[in-house]
Structure 1
Amino acid sequence: MLEIAPNLEIPDDELVERFVRSSGPGGQNVNKVATAVELRFDIANSPSLPEPLRARLLAKRDRRLTDEGVLVLSAQRFRTQDRNREDARERLAAFIVAGLHVPKKRIATKPSKGAKQRRLDEKRGRSTIKRERTRRDWD
Protein backbone atom coordinates (compact mmCIF):
# COMPACT_ATOMS: atom_id res chain seq x y z
CA MET A 1 0.00 0.00 0.00
CA LEU A 2 1.43 3.40 -1.04
CA GLU A 3 0.25 6.17 1.30
CA ILE A 4 -0.03 9.55 -0.42
CA ALA A 5 -1.98 11.56 2.17
CA PRO A 6 -3.82 10.65 5.39
CA ASN A 7 -7.01 9.94 3.43
CA LEU A 8 -5.48 8.72 0.15
CA GLU A 9 -3.75 5.40 -0.44
CA ILE A 10 -2.95 3.46 -3.59
CA PRO A 11 -3.00 -0.35 -3.36
CA ASP A 12 0.02 -2.22 -4.74
CA ASP A 13 -2.10 -4.09 -7.30
CA GLU A 14 -2.70 -0.78 -9.18
CA LEU A 15 1.05 -0.26 -9.66
CA VAL A 16 2.89 -2.13 -12.40
CA GLU A 17 6.63 -2.43 -11.89
CA ARG A 18 9.06 -3.68 -14.51
CA PHE A 19 12.74 -4.14 -13.82
CA VAL A 20 15.16 -3.45 -16.67
CA ARG A 21 18.88 -2.96 -17.06
CA SER A 22 19.93 0.58 -16.34
CA SER A 23 22.21 2.67 -18.52
CA GLY A 24 25.35 4.56 -17.63
CA PRO A 25 28.52 3.65 -15.72
CA GLY A 26 28.74 0.54 -13.57
CA GLY A 27 30.84 -1.94 -15.50
CA GLN A 28 29.71 -5.56 -15.60
CA ASN A 29 27.08 -4.94 -12.94
CA VAL A 30 25.07 -2.80 -15.39
CA ASN A 31 25.18 -5.55 -18.00
CA LYS A 32 24.15 -8.33 -15.61
CA VAL A 33 21.62 -6.91 -13.14
CA ALA A 34 18.22 -5.36 -13.86
CA THR A 35 18.30 -2.55 -11.29
CA ALA A 36 16.32 0.16 -13.10
CA VAL A 37 12.59 0.33 -12.35
CA GLU A 38 9.83 1.35 -14.73
CA LEU A 39 6.72 2.13 -12.66
CA ARG A 40 3.35 2.46 -14.40
CA PHE A 41 0.23 3.84 -12.77
CA ASP A 42 -3.07 4.07 -14.65
CA ILE A 43 -4.46 7.41 -13.51
CA ALA A 44 -7.44 7.34 -15.86
CA ASN A 45 -8.82 4.03 -14.55
CA SER A 46 -7.67 4.08 -10.92
CA PRO A 47 -10.56 3.50 -8.48
CA SER A 48 -8.55 4.85 -5.54
CA LEU A 49 -8.29 8.42 -6.88
CA PRO A 50 -11.17 10.90 -6.37
CA GLU A 51 -12.62 12.26 -9.63
CA PRO A 52 -11.49 15.93 -9.21
CA LEU A 53 -7.92 14.81 -8.43
CA ARG A 54 -7.91 12.46 -11.44
CA ALA A 55 -9.06 15.31 -13.70
CA ARG A 56 -6.33 17.65 -12.40
CA LEU A 57 -3.61 15.00 -12.85
CA LEU A 58 -4.73 14.15 -16.38
CA ALA A 59 -4.92 17.85 -17.29
CA LYS A 60 -1.21 18.30 -16.49
CA ARG A 61 0.90 18.57 -19.58
CA ASP A 62 3.54 16.10 -18.48
CA ARG A 63 5.66 14.10 -20.91
CA ARG A 64 5.51 11.09 -18.56
CA LEU A 65 1.74 10.77 -19.14
CA THR A 66 0.66 8.65 -22.10
CA ASP A 67 -2.40 9.38 -24.24
CA GLU A 68 -4.28 6.62 -22.39
CA GLY A 69 -3.72 8.35 -19.02
CA VAL A 70 -0.94 6.08 -17.76
CA LEU A 71 1.90 7.69 -15.81
CA VAL A 72 5.27 6.07 -16.60
CA LEU A 73 8.13 6.76 -14.18
CA SER A 74 11.64 5.45 -14.77
CA ALA A 75 14.06 5.28 -11.83
CA GLN A 76 17.73 4.34 -12.28
CA ARG A 77 19.58 6.79 -10.05
CA PHE A 78 20.77 4.21 -7.56
CA ARG A 79 22.74 0.97 -7.81
CA THR A 80 20.20 -1.26 -6.09
CA GLN A 81 16.82 -2.38 -7.31
CA ASP A 82 15.24 -1.75 -3.90
CA ARG A 83 16.40 1.87 -3.72
CA ASN A 84 15.27 2.57 -7.31
CA ARG A 85 11.89 1.05 -6.48
CA GLU A 86 11.54 3.36 -3.45
CA ASP A 87 12.63 6.33 -5.55
CA ALA A 88 9.99 5.62 -8.21
CA ARG A 89 7.27 5.31 -5.55
CA GLU A 90 8.38 8.54 -3.87
CA ARG A 91 8.22 10.37 -7.21
CA LEU A 92 4.75 8.96 -7.88
CA ALA A 93 3.60 10.18 -4.45
CA ALA A 94 5.09 13.63 -5.12
CA PHE A 95 3.30 13.81 -8.49
CA ILE A 96 -0.06 12.99 -6.89
CA VAL A 97 0.53 15.35 -3.93
CA ALA A 98 1.15 18.16 -6.44
CA GLY A 99 -2.29 17.43 -7.90
CA LEU A 100 -3.96 17.63 -4.48
CA HIS A 101 -3.41 21.39 -4.41
CA VAL A 102 -6.48 23.08 -5.91
CA PRO A 103 -5.50 26.34 -7.62
CA LYS A 104 -7.55 29.38 -6.61
CA LYS A 105 -9.76 30.97 -9.23
CA ARG A 106 -8.42 34.27 -10.49
CA ILE A 107 -10.76 37.18 -9.98
CA ALA A 108 -10.61 39.60 -12.89
CA THR A 109 -10.09 43.20 -11.79
CA LYS A 110 -10.14 46.51 -13.63
CA PRO A 111 -7.48 49.20 -13.34
CA SER A 112 -8.48 52.20 -11.21
CA LYS A 113 -9.20 55.62 -12.72
CA GLY A 114 -5.95 56.94 -11.28
CA ALA A 115 -3.96 54.09 -12.86
CA LYS A 116 -5.57 54.74 -16.25
CA GLN A 117 -4.81 58.46 -15.96
CA ARG A 118 -1.16 57.82 -15.00
CA ARG A 119 -0.78 55.47 -17.97
CA LEU A 120 -2.21 58.03 -20.40
CA ASP A 121 -0.06 60.83 -18.94
CA GLU A 122 3.04 58.67 -19.36
CA LYS A 123 2.10 57.88 -22.97
CA ARG A 124 1.54 61.57 -23.67
CA GLY A 125 4.92 62.42 -22.15
CA ARG A 126 6.74 59.79 -24.27
CA SER A 127 4.94 61.04 -27.35
CA THR A 128 6.11 64.59 -26.69
CA ILE A 129 9.72 63.48 -26.19
CA LYS A 130 9.70 61.58 -29.48
CA ARG A 131 8.00 64.45 -31.33
CA GLU A 132 10.70 66.86 -30.08
CA ARG A 133 13.41 64.60 -31.51
CA THR A 134 12.07 64.84 -35.07
CA ARG A 135 11.26 68.58 -35.17
CA ARG A 136 13.68 70.54 -37.35
CA ASP A 137 13.97 74.32 -37.62
CA TRP A 138 15.81 75.10 -40.90
CA ASP A 139 15.60 78.89 -40.72
Structure 2
Amino acid sequence: MLKVSSKLAIPLEEIEMNAVRAQGAGGQNVNKVASAIHLRFDIAASSLPEEVKTRLLALGDQRISSDGVIVIKAQRFRTQEKNRTDALERLRELVASATRTRKKRVATKPTRASKERRLKQKTRRGQIKSMRGKVSDH
Protein backbone atom coordinates (compact mmCIF):
# COMPACT_ATOMS: atom_id res chain seq x y z
CA MET A 1 0.00 0.00 0.00
CA LEU A 2 1.21 3.46 -0.95
CA LYS A 3 -0.01 5.77 1.81
CA VAL A 4 -1.01 9.15 0.34
CA SER A 5 -2.66 10.63 3.44
CA SER A 6 -4.10 9.41 6.74
CA LYS A 7 -7.37 8.51 4.97
CA LEU A 8 -6.13 7.59 1.49
CA ALA A 9 -3.89 4.77 0.27
CA ILE A 10 -3.25 3.21 -3.14
CA PRO A 11 -2.86 -0.59 -3.36
CA LEU A 12 0.42 -1.54 -5.05
CA GLU A 13 -1.52 -3.91 -7.35
CA GLU A 14 -2.94 -0.84 -9.15
CA ILE A 15 0.56 0.51 -9.89
CA GLU A 16 2.45 -1.03 -12.82
CA MET A 17 6.24 -0.72 -12.61
CA ASN A 18 8.79 -1.88 -15.19
CA ALA A 19 12.59 -1.70 -15.05
CA VAL A 20 14.08 -0.12 -18.16
CA ARG A 21 17.52 1.13 -19.17
CA ALA A 22 18.18 4.72 -18.14
CA GLN A 23 19.05 7.44 -20.65
CA GLY A 24 21.97 9.84 -20.65
CA ALA A 25 25.55 9.67 -19.38
CA GLY A 26 26.75 6.81 -17.24
CA GLY A 27 28.88 4.68 -19.54
CA GLN A 28 28.79 0.91 -19.38
CA ASN A 29 26.53 0.83 -16.30
CA VAL A 30 23.73 2.69 -18.11
CA ASN A 31 24.05 0.50 -21.21
CA LYS A 32 24.11 -2.75 -19.26
CA VAL A 33 21.80 -2.34 -16.23
CA ALA A 34 18.03 -1.70 -16.27
CA SER A 35 18.02 0.65 -13.28
CA ALA A 36 15.38 3.17 -14.37
CA ILE A 37 11.76 2.60 -13.33
CA HIS A 38 8.81 3.24 -15.64
CA LEU A 39 5.69 3.66 -13.47
CA ARG A 40 2.15 3.61 -14.90
CA PHE A 41 -1.00 4.33 -12.87
CA ASP A 42 -4.45 4.25 -14.51
CA ILE A 43 -6.56 6.89 -12.77
CA ALA A 44 -9.94 5.66 -14.06
CA ALA A 45 -9.33 2.02 -13.07
CA SER A 46 -8.00 2.92 -9.61
CA SER A 47 -9.74 2.66 -6.25
CA LEU A 48 -9.38 6.40 -5.60
CA PRO A 49 -12.51 8.38 -4.67
CA GLU A 50 -14.30 9.92 -7.68
CA GLU A 51 -13.60 13.45 -6.43
CA VAL A 52 -9.83 12.81 -6.35
CA LYS A 53 -9.93 11.16 -9.80
CA THR A 54 -11.68 14.21 -11.26
CA ARG A 55 -9.17 16.60 -9.69
CA LEU A 56 -6.23 14.51 -10.92
CA LEU A 57 -7.53 14.49 -14.49
CA ALA A 58 -8.11 18.26 -14.33
CA LEU A 59 -4.56 18.99 -13.13
CA GLY A 60 -3.11 19.45 -16.62
CA ASP A 61 0.18 17.85 -15.60
CA GLN A 62 2.35 16.62 -18.50
CA ARG A 63 2.84 13.29 -16.69
CA ILE A 64 -0.88 12.53 -17.12
CA SER A 65 -1.61 11.20 -20.62
CA SER A 66 -4.76 12.02 -22.59
CA ASP A 67 -6.25 8.62 -21.72
CA GLY A 68 -5.88 9.29 -17.97
CA VAL A 69 -2.73 7.32 -17.17
CA ILE A 70 -0.01 8.78 -14.97
CA VAL A 71 3.41 7.93 -16.43
CA ILE A 72 6.50 8.59 -14.29
CA LYS A 73 10.04 7.69 -15.35
CA ALA A 74 12.49 7.63 -12.45
CA GLN A 75 16.17 7.46 -13.43
CA ARG A 76 17.76 9.87 -10.97
CA PHE A 77 19.66 7.19 -9.02
CA ARG A 78 22.03 4.36 -9.97
CA THR A 79 20.07 1.61 -8.22
CA GLN A 80 16.70 0.19 -9.18
CA GLU A 81 15.47 0.22 -5.55
CA LYS A 82 16.15 3.95 -5.09
CA ASN A 83 14.48 4.73 -8.42
CA ARG A 84 11.45 2.61 -7.42
CA THR A 85 11.01 4.52 -4.14
CA ASP A 86 11.58 7.82 -5.99
CA ALA A 87 8.85 6.96 -8.55
CA LEU A 88 6.39 5.95 -5.81
CA GLU A 89 7.16 9.14 -3.85
CA ARG A 90 6.55 11.28 -6.95
CA LEU A 91 3.23 9.48 -7.54
CA ARG A 92 2.28 10.01 -3.88
CA GLU A 93 3.04 13.76 -4.14
CA LEU A 94 0.99 14.07 -7.35
CA VAL A 95 -2.06 12.32 -5.85
CA ALA A 96 -1.66 14.27 -2.58
CA SER A 97 -1.72 17.56 -4.52
CA ALA A 98 -5.12 16.55 -5.95
CA THR A 99 -6.56 15.76 -2.51
CA ARG A 100 -5.98 19.25 -1.10
CA THR A 101 -8.90 21.63 -1.50
CA ARG A 102 -8.19 25.26 -2.24
CA LYS A 103 -9.33 27.88 0.24
CA LYS A 104 -12.07 30.11 -1.14
CA ARG A 105 -10.83 33.66 -1.72
CA VAL A 106 -12.57 36.34 0.30
CA ALA A 107 -13.00 39.54 -1.73
CA THR A 108 -11.76 42.67 0.05
CA LYS A 109 -11.96 46.39 -0.73
CA PRO A 110 -8.87 48.63 -0.73
CA THR A 111 -8.69 50.92 2.30
CA ARG A 112 -9.15 54.68 2.01
CA ALA A 113 -5.50 55.24 2.99
CA SER A 114 -4.26 52.86 0.26
CA LYS A 115 -6.41 54.67 -2.33
CA GLU A 116 -5.03 58.04 -1.20
CA ARG A 117 -1.43 56.74 -1.30
CA ARG A 118 -1.99 55.46 -4.85
CA LEU A 119 -3.43 58.78 -6.03
CA LYS A 120 -0.64 60.74 -4.32
CA GLN A 121 1.97 58.54 -6.04
CA LYS A 122 0.24 59.04 -9.41
CA THR A 123 0.27 62.82 -8.94
CA ARG A 124 3.96 62.79 -7.94
CA ARG A 125 4.84 60.64 -10.95
CA GLY A 126 2.89 62.97 -13.26
CA GLN A 127 4.84 65.97 -11.93
CA ILE A 128 8.15 64.21 -12.55
CA LYS A 129 7.10 63.41 -16.11
CA SER A 130 5.86 66.97 -16.79
CA MET A 131 9.28 68.35 -15.77
CA ARG A 132 10.96 66.27 -18.46
CA GLY A 133 9.83 68.65 -21.18
CA LYS A 134 12.08 71.02 -23.16
CA VAL A 135 13.58 73.91 -21.27
CA SER A 136 12.69 77.33 -22.69
CA ASP A 137 15.16 80.31 -22.70
CA HIS A 138 12.64 82.91 -21.32
Structure 1's consecutive aligned runs of 4 or more residues displaced over 6 angstroms after TM superposition are none
For residue 38 of structure 2, what is the aligned residue in structure 1? 38
- The number of residue pairs the alignment matches comes to 137
By how many angstroms is 1:135 displaced? Answer: 6.1
By how many angstroms is 1:114 displaced? Answer: 2.4
For residue 3 of structure 1, what is the aligned residue in structure 2? 3
Corresponding letter in the other structure for 2:53: R
Q: Is the 8 A contact 1:9 1:48 kept in 2?
A: no
Aligned counterparts of 1:30 and 1:134: Cα–Cα separation in 2:
67
For residue 51 of structure 2, what is the aligned residue in structure 1? 52
Aligned counterparts of 2:137 and 2:32: Cα–Cα separation in 1:
88
**Identical columns (%):** 47
Root mean square deviation of aligned Cα: 2.1
TM-score between both structures, scaled by the size of structure 2: 0.83
Secondary structure of 1:93's counterpart equals helix
Residue segments in structure 1 that go unaligned for 5+ positions in a row: none
For residue 74 of structure 1, what is the aligned residue in structure 2? 73
For residue 25 of structure 1, what is the aligned residue in structure 2? 26
For residue 104 of structure 1, what is the aligned residue in structure 2? 103
**Per-residue Cα deviation, 1:55-93 (whole angstroms, up to 9, x for no partner):** 322222322111122111111223332332222112111
By how many angstroms is 1:25 displaced? Answer: 0.6
